[in-house]
């Protein structure tokens, strides 16, 4: 019998497959969303939910830095 944590693991496997799907990647690109960064964010959340907080923090920091660096306009208000 599957536990709630097993269900979360399965959900992340499905999300991983979706985020690696070329059609999904194209649809995300149409929205200006980077497919690789979405995978980093997914990895960060999964690590956090599994209690791997240092890894989660690193993934989220990378994600935030990359998203901020791709924003249009001056860098005011962005974390350094």
CA 46 vs CA 6, 17, 78, 80: distances in Å: 12, 14, 25, 25
C-alpha Rg value of the chain to the nearest Å: 15
pLDDT band at 12; cut points 50, 70, 90:
very high
DSSP, res 78: -
Report the distance separating Cα 25 and Cα 43, nearest Å. 17
CA 8 vs CA 37, 54, 78: distances in Å: 21, 20, 32
Q: What pLDDT sits at residue 8?
A: 94
Domain boundaries, the chain: 4-68
Report the distance separating Cα 22 and Cα 41, nearest Å. 18
Q: What pLDDT sits at residue 77?
A: 58
Q: What is the pLDDT of residues 13-55, one digit of tens each?
A: 999 999 999 999 999 999 999 999 999 999 999 999 999 999 9
């Amino acid at each position: 019998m599957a536990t709630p944590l097993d269900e979360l693991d399965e959900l992340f496997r499905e999300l991983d497959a979706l985020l690696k799907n070329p059609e999904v990647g194209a649809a995300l690109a149409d929205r200006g969303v980077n497919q690789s960064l979405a995978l980093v964010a997914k990895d960060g959340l999964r690590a956090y939910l599994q209690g791997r907080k240092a890894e989660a923090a690193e993934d989220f920091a990378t994600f935030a830095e990359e998203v901020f660096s791709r924003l249009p306009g001056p860098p005011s208000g962005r974390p350094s």
